[in-house]
Amino acid sequence: MRLMKAAVFFFLVPTLTPALDPLSTSVFMGGAAVVWQLLSPHSWLKCSLLECCNMKDTLNLSVIKVDLERKVFGQHLAIQIVLRALSANMYSKRPRKPLVMSFHGWTGTGKSFVSSIIAKNLYQLNIPRRRFVHHFSTVLHFPHLSHVHLYKEQLQNWIKGNVSACPRSLFIFSEMDQMPHGLIDSIMPFLGYHEEIDGVYYGKAIFLFL
């Protein structure tokens, strides 16, 4: 789409500037088109050359389904629910709330397979996906009960900062059973129905609790 616009721009302008010779006009316009592509936040060129949030929803549900069925055994119902939730959020242009999924009662491996399959499939391969996938391990990131106030503030700032940089950010929280009391409450406002909070739109974010 962007590329098409750039091409139209490129072809129209030389006809409006007949005084310049055709070669320098097209070189100039080509340069302008490149600059214009680089300046627009999610242009095709910028995303290919520089790191950028993968705003294209490239999720291929049939690939995810095959992946899940191959690696997660005996969880047909759970797989169906996960796929339905993913597709509802993915194919909505502007979801009103982020996708929040909480997995209970599985063995550790099954749960982490699901989240890693989603993470792997959510972003384009050529863009380093770890920038958009945020894994918080209770044991590693929030080990001290006495620091819960600090953690709350940190977590809110991280989520807000990352979602403003990339609306389609994935947050994975593991070892939920050991999560300090009250920490998840501090991010509840981000998970509910809201258009925007302080100018940040959370509808495309994904939160997985393991």
**Chain contacts with ligand NAG (rule: CB under 6 A):** 60, 62-63, 134, 157-158, 161-162, 165
Distance CA 49, CA 34 (A): 11
Specify the residue, 26 or 112, whose C-beta has the smaller distance to ligand NAG: 112
Least distance to ligand NAG from the beta carbon of 64, Å? 9
Least distance to ligand NAG from the beta carbon of 157, Å? 6
Specify the residue, 49 or 63, whose C-beta has the smaller distance to ligand NAG: 63
* Residue nearest ligand NAG, Cβ-based: 161
Specify the residue, 111 or 135, whose C-beta has the smaller distance to ligand NAG: 135
Least distance to ligand NAG from the beta carbon of 23, Å? 41
Q: Note the helical H segments in 41-107.
A: 44-49, 61-71, 76-90
Specify the residue, 26 or 137, whose C-beta has the smaller distance to ligand NAG: 137
Distance CA 205, CA 210 (A): 16
Specify the residue, 110 or 190, whose C-beta has the smaller distance to ligand NAG: 190
Do 94 and 203 contact (CB within 8 A), yes or no?
yes
Least distance to ligand NAG from the beta carbon of 99, Å? 18
Distance CA 85, CA 64 (A): 13
Least distance to ligand NAG from the beta carbon of 131, Å? 9
The residues near 180 (Cβ < 8 Å, ≥ 6 apart) are 138, 142, 145, 148, 151
SS (H, E, C) 117-186: HHHHHHCCCCCCHHHCEEEEEHHHHCCCHHHHHHHHHHHHHHHHHHHHHCCCCEEEEECHHHCCCCCHHH
